[in-house]
Amino acid sequence: MSETLEHEHRQLGQAVIEIISEYVRGLDDVRVCSTAQPTDLHALFDEPLPLDGVHAESIIETFRRDVIPHTMNIPSPRYYGLFNPTPLPIAVWADALASAINQNGAAWRNSP
């Protein structure tokens, strides 16, 4: 892996770790559901898709600013809906590991 790609992985990983940590840290203090109306949420994303790529940092900041505050906080101790369990840290990071190796499920004979 090139040093540039490794650096990008580390930089983005740290940004994502910070978002996840902030989210988990605040779960005791936030409402389960956002008070935003559907029109409010639509307005956040009512723009044409970009013709050119955007920087990953911009995507992460948009997620932090526009998605996290309006998510349904199922891991909250105040959520009594379907009793979805709070994801364990290993589950969050195991998803990242699976994504990192990007295996082809159809080519199961090639590797585990």
Domain assignment of residue 102, yes or no: no
User: What range defines the domain where residue 46 resides?
Assistant: 3-95
Give the model's pLDDT for residue 31: 92
What CATH number is associated with residue 32? 3.90.1150.170
Q: Does residue 16 lie in a domain region?
A: yes
What pLDDT is stored for residue 10 in this prediction? 92
Report if residue 88 sits inside a domain.
Answer: yes
Structure confidence at residue 109 (pLDDT): 67
What are 18-29's pLDDT values in tens digits?
A: 999 999 999 999
User: Is 58 inside any structural domain?
Assistant: yes
Asked whether residue 50 is domain-assigned, the answer is yes
Asked if 27 and 73 count as a contact pair (C-beta separation under 8 A), the reply is yes
Label residue 79 exposed, middle or buried (CB < 10 Å: 0-12, 13-18, 19+). Answer: middle
Name the percent of the chain lying above pLDDT 90.
55
User: Quick check: 112 pLDDT over 70?
Assistant: no
Is a pLDDT exceeding 80 seen at residue 110? no
How much is the pLDDT for 5?
A: 87
Residue range 47-89, pLDDT digits in tens: 999 999 999 999 999 999 999 999 988 888 888 777 777 788 8
Residue 103 lies in a domain: no
Query: Is 13 within the bounds of a domain?
Result: yes
**pLDDT score for 88:** 84
**Global confidence as pTM:** 0.78
Cβ 79 vs Cβ 73: under 8 Å:
yes
Domain count, the chain: 1
